[in-house]
Amino acid sequence: MSTVSWDFTPLSAEQELIQREIGRICGEFDDEYWREHERDNEYPQEFADLLAENGWFGALIPEEYGGGGMSTEEMVVMMEEIAGSGAGFGGAQAIHGAIYTSRPLVEHGNERIKEEILPGIAAGEATVQSLGLTEPNAGSESTAIETTAERDGDEYVINGQKIWTSRLDVTDYLLLVARTKSPDEATKKTDGISMFLVDMEMAKAQGAVEMKSISKTALNLSHSFEVWFDELRVPAENLIGEEHEGFYYLLDGLNDERLVIASECIGHAKVAIERAAQYADEREVFDRQIGKNQAIQHPLAKAYMRTLATKQLVYETAALMDSLDRQQVGILANSSKYLAAEAAYEASDAAVQTHGGFGVAREYDVERYFRNARIARIAPISQELTLNYVSEKALDLPRSF
């Protein structure tokens, strides 16, 4: 049986502990679990519940609110381990929001929100899994959102439409982004955007929310929705931070999340390469292992080397975040995400090709890896926008949009 070597990145004692503990939890969910849930478009609730019960959804929440108080250095290990266990990018993305969507509450939420909401998340009793940002006419251009929130006494009244809002069917709270100033009133495009915490049970009780599931062919462990808000009333105390400043809260932690997504792609690439190497070592055609053929070896070797090199960049950047300025971190984090997404896709493509006709058979899993890896090149930021950022910030070229 083929054994792939990955252990070249030194880990701290805490990182090793996280790797072992997450590996133990992931070990309870075999390939058939992920295969069946993906096939049936079913959220991996049992996996999510076990992570929540063990406090992992509160990993980024400060210890004073019952959380783990962890940093990006720990989170890259956690998410790589999940994806690399066989869950792949799709499995990691299914629970990614449960950890990262609560971050604005930690950094900008008022004391009531911190004291009432964060301990429940840390204890696994509540989740904030969904971000309502993207709209039919506002994809990558987030400042073009048209959903509005108007102040009415001690409430805001929200009207509008969102799309690609994920995990809305399994979350207790939605982090919703809306305009509190019209574009004409705003001093600049980023002005006049605010962020709200929406209790989904209360929203549904009002009859102010309509949801429609989007049929898709990838990341089927997480359901995505088109959502309409009609006179949704949200308490003013559920405003996150200052009114009109929500866009800047979205930017906070963006580099950290880029690195964590990159680590998910690394784990995804690893498992794809491992499955392909194992199949190539076992499969015989014309009385010889197909792994003896350079046409099989070389694509896998290239995918392996790119994955290995990208992992070093991801982990080194995570370790350097506090010692570099924001732009330097941005260049490295965006480079990490770009390279990791390419590595995941290349590894998955090579894995499908290695399996030949069985590459599209569900039982071998690599078709699932291939479909989900393609999404990493689109979301949460496209490869093209990442290249734009690096061109402008690292190469000092004119802004292209």
Per-residue pLDDT reduced to its tens digit, 192-224: 999 999 999 999 999 999 999 999 999 999 999
* Predicted confidence (pLDDT) at residue 2 exceeds the cutoff of 80: no
- Quick one: what percent of the chain has pLDDT higher than 70? 100
pLDDT at position 401 is 82
**CA torsion, points 316, 317, 320, 321, in degrees to nearest 10?**
-160
Whether 83 shows a pLDDT value over 60: the answer reads yes
Mean pLDDT over 53-57 rounds to: 96
How confident is the model at residue 253, as a pLDDT?
87
Distance CA 104, CA 107 (A): 5
User: What's the Rg (C-alpha) of the chain?
Assistant: 22
pLDDT at 227: 98
Name the nearest CA neighbour of 350 among 277, 265, 264. Answer: 277
Which pLDDT band, with edges at 50, 70 and 90, does 334 fall under? very high
Domains of the chain by residue range: 13-108, 128-244, 250-393
Q: If residue 133 lies in a helix (H) or strand (E), which one and from where to where?
A: none
> Residue 300 corresponds to which amino acid?
L
Helix axes 88-100, 254-282, angle to 10 degrees: 160
* Distance of alpha carbon 259 from alpha carbon 318, whole angstroms: 7
Enumerate the β-bridge partners of residue 162: 227
- Confidence band (pLDDT; 50, 70, 90) for 82? very high
Compute the Cα dihedral for 300, 303, 306, 308 and give only its sign.
negative
Do 244 and 194 touch, CB atoms closer than 8 A?
A: yes
Question: Is 128-244 a domain of CATH 2.40.110.10?
Answer: yes
Give dist(CA 150, CA 152) in Å, integer.
6
SS3 assignment, position 262: helix
272 pLDDT tier (thresholds 50, 70, 90): very high
Mean local confidence (pLDDT), 216-236: 97
Residues 6+ away with beta carbon under 8 Å from 271: 83, 84, 85, 86, 88, 369
Encoded tokens for 316: 């080194």
Residue where the block lists tokens 């089927």: 220
How large is the average pLDDT for residues 341-348? 98
Q: What is the CATH number of domain 13-108?
A: 1.10.540.10
Which long-range CB contacts under 8 A does 384-388 form with residues at least 24 apart? Answer: 385/140, 386/334, 386/335, 386/337, 386/338, 387/338
| Mean pLDDT, residues 255-270 | 97
Beta strands in 67-154 (DSSP E): 128-132, 148-152
Instruction: Report residue 124 as tokens.
Output: 């696994």
Under CATH, which number does the domain 250-393 receive? 1.20.140.10
Tokens at residue 178, please? 């809306």
> Average pLDDT for residues 317-335, to the nearest whole number?
95
In terms of Cα–Cα distance, which of 301, 259, 295, 260 is closest to 277? 301
Average pLDDT of span 164-188? 96
Spatial separation of the C-alpha atoms in residues 13 and 112, rounded to whole Å: 35
- Provide the mean pLDDT of the chain: 96
The CA distances from residue 173 to 176, 245, 304, 356, in Å, are 9, 20, 39, 44
Residue with tokens 């493509």, as numbered in its chain = 349
Q: How far is CA 240 from the centre of its chain?
A: 21
Torsion sign, CA atoms 275, 5, 218, 79: positive
CA distance 162 to 97: 17
- Predicted local confidence at residue 242, as pLDDT: 97
Does residue 104 have a cis bond before it (omega within 30 degrees)?
no
Range 268-274 average pLDDT: 98
Q: Point out the least confidently predicted range of 33-37, 160-164, 251-255.
A: 251-255
Element (H, E) at 300: helix 294-320
Residue 1 pLDDT? 57
CA 196 to chain centre: 20
22 — pLDDT class (breaks 50, 70, 90): very high
Do 377 and 337 contact (CB within 8 A), yes or no?
Answer: no
